[in-house]
Structure 1
Amino acid sequence: MIGIVDYGMGNLFSVSKALERLNVPYIISDKKEQLSKTDGLILPGVGAFRDAMKLLNETGLADFIKEQAEAGKPILGICLGMQLLFEGSEENGVFEGLGLLKGKAVRFSGESNGERYKVPHMGWNKLKFHQDSPLTENVAEEHVYFVHSYYIAEEEREALIASSDYFEEVPAVVGKGSVFGMQFHPEKSGDLGMALLNNYTEYVKKTEVRA
């Protein structure tokens, strides 16, 4: 069973509907006792990094997620949820993240080679795979749907599974150990998005958690 972490800022409905289409059992909860009984966690998110981390810290879910990651439970962050997995963000100040992955969220500059470009990055962009991963098994480099103004920089290259180009190289799929992230919305990315999400759920089924 997958636990969708409800901390008040998630795109819970679309993620849960995607799991239903995959016939994957899930719960939506903000209760650590319930989430601890699941086999994998999805951390969705829309909105501001600062507000999200404040809610996660106030509810104790931040420490809980770190503990679950340490125990080896598969975790998938989506959009803002992916950015929260990293060390911090420069959105409206400098704020600490969960620190499960190295790197930080920075804003698109809006300018490249003297030309302005649109921020937020909104639309379909093609993935480029950099290494094998359980998430990208048996899927092709096709387009996925992004909506974001911040992207991850200074990431570990060995954690970069796939990227996309939007005037900058945008880490699109990341992973280290059993901690994964997708900057785009897989639940809104057609067949490829659903295949990536399905691969995560299949990985969860195969993973033995230590605690």
Structure 2
Amino acid sequence: MIGIIRYGAGNIFSLTAALDRLGIAYGMVHTEADLEGFDRYIIPGVGHAGAAMHKLESTGLVPAIKALNKPTLGICVGMQLMTAYSEEGDASLLNIFPIKTLKFPGDTEFKVPHTGWNQVFPEKGNPLFTGIPDGSHFYYVHSYFIEYDTLYTLASTNYIHKFSASIWHNNFYGVQFHPEKSGVYGETLLKNFSNI
């Protein structure tokens, strides 16, 4: 069963609707005691990374999240929270991944925020992307990106430049796109996560 970590950063209706469609059991995590009832976790998030980190700190869950040893997936801002630092709000984050979240440059022909469908290219073999062909399209909405790093990047996307679409280290995974809004391949990824 998946525990969705609730800390007041964003609407989770699309995520729970996707899990319902897939028949994947889930519940909500509000306190450290709630973590005990689940065998994997999702950290959702939309909006401002600095503000999201402040909300997460106010729950008292930060030490427990960093100590998790079960599969844990961060989505969008939830993935950015796993990095060490974000330029959004000049914020120190969880530092599960010692890499940075940076702002897309605004002085290019490309629109920021990066909104819509873009291709994702897995770069390492991992069960998270089983059954998902190279170059499959996923749905994005973000103005900040995680710097590309060969050690932690599980999959990449090109928009303005190459960045980490997905990261992975031990039991921690992150995706910048929204699998819950990405059609069949997004649902495949969520199902894969439920079986890792």
TM-score tier (shorter):
over 0.9
Question: Is 1:13 matched up with 2:9?
Answer: no
Amino acid in structure 2 at the alignment position of 1:36: E
Q: Does 1:126 align with 2:123?
A: no
Residue of structure 2 in register with 1:184 after alignment = 177
What is the match of residue 160 of structure 1? 153
Following TM superposition, where does structure 1 have runs of at least 4 consecutive aligned residues deviating by more than 3 angstroms? none
1:31 aligns with 2:24: no
1-structure distance, mates of 2:104, 2:36? 36
1:1-211 aligned within 5 A = 1-68=1-68, 72-92=69-89, 94-111=90-107, 115-141=108-134, 142-153=136-147, 155-203=148-196
Q: Equivalents in 2 of 1:96, 1:36: separation in Å?
A: 27
Superposed CA RMSD in Å reads 1.2
What SS class does the counterpart of residue 38 from structure 2 fall into?
Answer: coil
Secondary structure of the residue aligned to 2:37 is coil
TM-score when normalising by structure 2: 0.95
Q: Percent identity?
A: 41
The size of the alignment, in residue pairs, is 195
Which has more strand, going by share of residues? Answer: 2
* 1:96-120 deviation per Cα after TM superposition (whole angstroms, max 9, x unaligned): 1111112111110023xxx432110
Relative to the length of structure 1, the TM-score reads: 0.89
Unaligned runs of 5+ in 2: none
Q: What is the deviation of 1:156?
A: 3.5
Q: Deviations over 1:122-170 (max 9, x none)?
A: 01001112111110112212100000000011x5412111111101112
